[in-house]
Amino acid sequence: MYKYLSGHMGINPQVASFVAEAEQELFGLFAKVDETAAVNQMKILNAMQNSRLSDSHFNDSTGYGYHDEGREVLEKIFAALFHAEAALVRPQLISGTHALAAALFGNLRPNDVLFSPVGKPYDTLESVIGIRPASGSLAEYGITYQQAELLENGDFDYEAIAEILKSQPKMVTIQRSKGYSWRKSFTVAEINDLIQCIRSRSPHTIILVDNCYGEFVATDEPIEADLLAGSLIKNPGGGIAAGGGYVVGKQKYVEASAERLTAPGLGSAVGPTLGMSRTLIQGLFLAPQTVSAAVKGAILAASVFGKLGFDVNPIVSAERSDIVQAIKLNNPENVLAFCRGIQKAAPVDSFVTPEPAPMPGYAHGVIMAGGTFIQGSSIELSADAPMRDPYIVYFQGGLTAPHSRAGVVFALQEMVREGRIKI
């Protein structure tokens, strides 16, 4: 492959061999990633078999979507996979933000308190919560928000958390992935510890985990939570789902989320899959493999850019809990070059030049590179960077390991070509 890349597509042979040499050192780590995929594949296979998935479940439903058997079996599979009482898995959930918003609005009422023990939430949640004023936010409905910052080293500040838990908040939201911040992504074990602390001090608090980007990166999921939510155009859609989101967990909290998604009284009983049930189910089946490809690309990016002297988070050998690789590129020119490289590695829209632009839900200009089959899909090869100091690029995705590897090669190539770095 490196021979191919160095002879074709304008890749500098030095760039190709730099990446190839870095990769030589990673096969041990990659074998562990494959092992995780194997475990998750078996779990999914088991859930599909136990749910008696059948050909007939791939039939279409329209209109209200009453008794949509494909949807029902898909939700049964998700519930089994996450050891949950219920699941809401719908194309009508537009994204992860929408799934999280349905869970929050569905379960919070005026005068309730929402608490984040893990610092600032993902950018798009700021307008949902009302940290950044927005029409229709939780704040407008009289729901207040509290947050405990993380400690300097990125760990939970259990003292500050215990203090806030004294007020017995109605709901807690825990973000597993770093999102667009330079912190560690929490492992499932860390999240379970935090959940245990919350349960012991505030037993009636509903615990929601934002599981975006985390699914199938490890062999377990943060199932101790009352609710988990995520996006199907990230990990659990396997790159095949054309859209959708999920909420899984305790029956009554999932149903409350469904009442918010559809309407009070309708809840989860309606919702046509509109011909998508096969691809949603097939995407889930492929997800462990797709996620493993993305994780290998992330590890390779950490290695390559770490060797070039950039700060990377996580470091190469760290235990991973999401597919995101953050690289501190220090200046806007590096970010632009990196992102142009990712765009040039795309199967779709490789000829366009990504530029920073305002994005709905984000406070800063954001540059997003990625020519994807599914719009905005970040389980596909992509890179995003909010244009703010210290200019961190978040690299993720790749439907196949060779493609996520190609992303690293093209990003490096562009930085070298533009004279940003020397190798």
Ligand X SMILES: *Cc1c(COP(=O)(O)O)cnc(C)c1O
> What are the residues binding ligand X (CB under 6 A)?
95-97, 122, 124, 175, 177, 179, 210, 212-213, 231
| CB closer to ligand X out of 51 and 404 | 404
Rounded alpha-carbon distances, angstroms, from residue 232 to 9, 95, 212: 32, 7, 9
| CB closer to ligand X out of 61 and 92 | 92
**Tell me, what amino acid is at 38?**
A
| CB closer to ligand X out of 23 and 386 | 386
| In the complex, least distance from residue 2 CB atom to ligand X, rounded to whole angstroms | 31
| CB closer to ligand X out of 169 and 237 | 237
Distance, in Å, from the CA atom of 156 to the CA atom of 161, rounded to the nearest integer, reads 8
Tokens 């993902």, located at residue = 122
- Whether the Cβ atoms of residue 44 and residue 288 lie closer than 8 Å to each other: yes
| In the complex, least distance from residue 233 CB atom to ligand X, rounded to whole angstroms | 7
Question: Helical H runs in 207-331?
Answer: 251-261, 277-307
Nearest-CB residue to ligand X?
A: 96
Taking alpha carbons only, the member of 56, 136, 124, 138 closest to residue 95 is 124
Distance, in Å, from the CA atom of 223 to the CA atom of 105, rounded to the nearest integer, reads 21
| CB closer to ligand X out of 61 and 124 | 124
| In the complex, least distance from residue 44 CB atom to ligand X, rounded to whole angstroms | 21
| In the complex, least distance from residue 169 CB atom to ligand X, rounded to whole angstroms | 20
Radius of gyration from C-alpha coordinates of the chain: 21
Written as six digits, the tokens of 391 are: 């200019």
Q: How far is CA 49 from the centre of its chain?
A: 26
| CB closer to ligand X out of 268 and 377 | 377
Taking alpha carbons only, the member of 327, 297, 325, 316 closest to residue 415 is 327
| CB closer to ligand X out of 244 and 271 | 244
| In the complex, least distance from residue 129 CB atom to ligand X, rounded to whole angstroms | 12
| In the complex, least distance from residue 124 CB atom to ligand X, rounded to whole angstroms | 5
Per-residue HEC secondary structure of 306-326 comes to HHCCCEEECCCCCCCCCCCEE
| In the complex, least distance from residue 11 CB atom to ligand X, rounded to whole angstroms | 30
| CB closer to ligand X out of 73 and 138 | 138
Per-residue HEC secondary structure of 343-399 comes to HHCCCCCCCCCCCCECCCCCCCCEEEECCCCCCCCCCCCEEEEECCCCCEEEEECCC
Written as six digits, the tokens of 121 are: 């939430």
| CB closer to ligand X out of 48 and 148 | 148
| In the complex, least distance from residue 329 CB atom to ligand X, rounded to whole angstroms | 20
Q: Which residues are bridge partners to 385 per DSSP?
A: 367
| In the complex, least distance from residue 18 CB atom to ligand X, rounded to whole angstroms | 29
Question: Helical H runs in 166-207?
Answer: 188-201
| In the complex, least distance from residue 99 CB atom to ligand X, rounded to whole angstroms | 8
- Whether the Cβ atoms of residue 365 and residue 386 lie closer than 8 Å to each other: yes
| In the complex, least distance from residue 208 CB atom to ligand X, rounded to whole angstroms | 11
| CB closer to ligand X out of 175 and 268 | 175
Strand ranges across the sheet with 227-231: 86-90, 245-249, 227-231, 206-210, 171-175, 113-116, 144-147
Phi first, then psi: give them for residue 208, nearest 5 degrees.
-110, 130
| CB closer to ligand X out of 75 and 123 | 123
